[in-house]
Chains A and B, each alone.
Chain A
Amino acid sequence: MAIEKKKVTEALKEKFPEKVKEVSFPLGDETIVIEADALLDVCRFAMNDPFALTMLLDLTCVDFMGEEMRFEMVYHLFSITNNSRLRIKLRLPEKDPTVDSLTSLWKNANWLEREVYDMFGIHFTGHPYLKRLFMYDGFEGHPLRKDYPLRKRQPIIPMRRKE
């Protein structure tokens, strides 16, 4: 099984030699760092046989404030038939962080990407309904960015006393 596990990342490296930047196995989890524009191809390759990573477990973002490539998108894929996992990472610039939407491959990417858009302000091209998921209409900014003020409140109704 361990030999098979290595095959996904190796096959991806063979298939996309220019797009794969780094391959690692932290604590046995296969992790691959790719260029942002290769995301759809990599996912489509990984979800088909023989790797069959057919399930998008989670999709999230990390903010590295101060770096030029500020945002890191993290995708977790899971194969039900092989019981194997793959983690895909890619970096996005601070100005105009845009990446392809995965809604064409997985339906559940819809809400996950809306959450990331809400919290981090990442734009997903090809998303059918890119609106805020958690915060309300009229909320300004993206609260999980590191530069969002810690105690900034945006109440919907007026408060009786000042907070």
Chain B
Amino acid sequence: MAGGWITTKLNYVIGWGRKFSLFHYPFITACCGMEYMSGACAHWDFDRFGCGLTTFSPRQADLIMVVGTISQKEAPVLKTIYDQMCEPKWVLAVGACTLSGGIYDNYAVVQGIDNIIPVDVYIPGCPPRPETFLDGIVRLQQKIQSQDQEWRLKRRK
């Protein structure tokens, strides 16, 4: 019983630490990037939620924000960048084009990036308001807090 209690508490503490220190990598390809910018800057400022440090290398990032239309030509790039990120990693998909292809139901656009990489939180909108953006980040934090933290040695073979 005591071991289980310790594991649960440790899980909670690690989750608490991780959810307030999200280093994010912005993968911005289209107009939703404007909403990302206003969300990241002083007006809405998602640094308040511990998501402030923008890394411009996927190798140092915990969170990739995929913001904008992903074309078929760009899909291998996104996949490579996702593979370069270290565990644990999360994916935030922002905007209608990223979620489902949006209005671009055609030959050139990937119909939702969950065709390429797994997605944790979907933020809908065309483009989403910065408030929606913040809401998505808070929901991601709730998810990180409640999930099973991958910290055990046996998982790192």
Contacts and interface: CB of A to CB of B under 8 A. Distances in A.
Interface of A: 134-136, 143, 148, 150-157, 159-161, 163
B145 interface: no
A155 B107 contact: no
Contacts of B72: 136, 153-156
B73 interface: yes
B115 A160 contact: yes
A148 B107 CA distance: 9
B108 A143 contact: yes
Given A152-B107, A157-B76, A160-B117, 15 more contacts: A134-B108, A136-B72, A148-B107, A154-B72, A154-B107, A155-B72, A155-B75, A156-B75, A156-B76, A157-B116, A159-B116, A160-B114, A160-B115, A160-B118, A163-B111
- Secondary structure at the A interface, as helix, strand, loop or mixed, is loop
- Secondary structure at the B interface, as helix, strand, loop or mixed, is loop
B108 A157 contact: no
Given A159-B116, A160-B116, A153 B73 contact: no
Contacts of A135: 73, 108
Contacts of B105: 150-151
B73 A136 contact: yes
23 contacts: A135-B73, A135-B108, A136-B72, A143-B107, A148-B107, A150-B105, A152-B107, A153-B111, A154-B72, A154-B107, A155-B72, A155-B115, A156-B75, A157-B75, A157-B76, A157-B116, A159-B115, A159-B116, A160-B115, A160-B117, A161-B114, A161-B115, A163-B111
